[in-house]
Amino acid sequence: MVSKISGPHFPQITMKTNGSQRTDDRFIPEDHKNVARGMEQQFAEYMIQQMNNTVDKADNENQDSASTYYENMMTTERAKMMSNSGSGLGVQKIVLDQIYPQRLRTEMNYNNYNKMKEQNALHKKMIQTHKPTESNSIAMKEKEAPKMASDIAKGELQ
């Protein structure tokens, strides 16, 4: 099967597929995968909670805080297992298609994303290491205050 892809920002591309669209998950950043997995887990957890609400519980069942906590923990773990399974519910794929479309899943984009992430981490580290301490900033303010007052009096500082 041959399908044609075209759009305003990229030229027409012809792709050959064998009935199913091939996705290359190698070039999806792990951060995006975690977001999609988390959203599917939340959806699965909500779905399980709603399913549990439809079950009639016996009147003599003791619903203390420990059993409620255990049930909530079981629901969370079931949802986690469902979202981490190979096929999942399909929500991960939908979310990934929205936040990281197929056309961006290339090796070049993946490498650029990782470089940008490394640069951001480096800048963040530089800011944290050069951040003045509170005592230094107070001392600087005390030294600058007389100068600023004289500048205001001269009309240089507005």
Q: Indicate if the pLDDT at residue 14 is higher than 50.
A: no
Give the pLDDT confidence score for residue 105 in this predicted structure: 92
**Tens digit of each residue's pLDDT (9 = 90 or more) over 56-105:** 877 656 678 888 899 999 999 999 999 888 778 899 999 999 999 999 99
In angstroms, what CA-CA distances link 72 with 16, 79, 87, 147?
Answer: 47, 11, 24, 62
Q: Indicate if the pLDDT at residue 2 is higher than 70.
A: no
Say which DSSP state 29 is in.
-
- pTM to 2 decimals? 0.60
Give the pLDDT confidence score for residue 79 in this predicted structure: 93
**DSSP string of 46-105, one letter each residue:** HHHHHHHHTSPPPTTS---HHHHHHHHHHHHHHHHHHHHSSS-SSHHHHHHHHHS-GGG-
| Band of residue 51 on the pLDDT scale cut at 50, 70, 90 | very high
Q: Per mean pLDDT, which of 1-5, 19-23, 130-134 is the most reliable?
A: 130-134
| Band of residue 9 on the pLDDT scale cut at 50, 70, 90 | low
Q: And the tokens for 36?
A: 């999609």
Mean pLDDT of 26-43: 93
Nearest to 95, CA basis, from 21, 143, 151, 31: 31
Residue 105 in contact with residue 27, Cβ under 8 Å?
yes
φ and ψ at 138, to 5 degrees?
-65, -45
Give the pLDDT confidence score for residue 84 in this predicted structure: 87
Measured between alpha carbons, how far is 91 from 82 in angstroms, rounded to an integer? 11
Measured between alpha carbons, how far is 151 from 158 in angstroms, rounded to an integer? 9
In angstroms, what CA-CA distances link 60 with 44, 63, 74, 134?
Answer: 29, 9, 21, 60
More confidently predicted of 38 and 7: 38
More confidently predicted of 156 and 114: 114
**Tens digit of each residue's pLDDT (9 = 90 or more) over 92-151:** 999 999 999 999 999 999 999 999 999 999 998 888 887 665 555 555 566 666 666 566
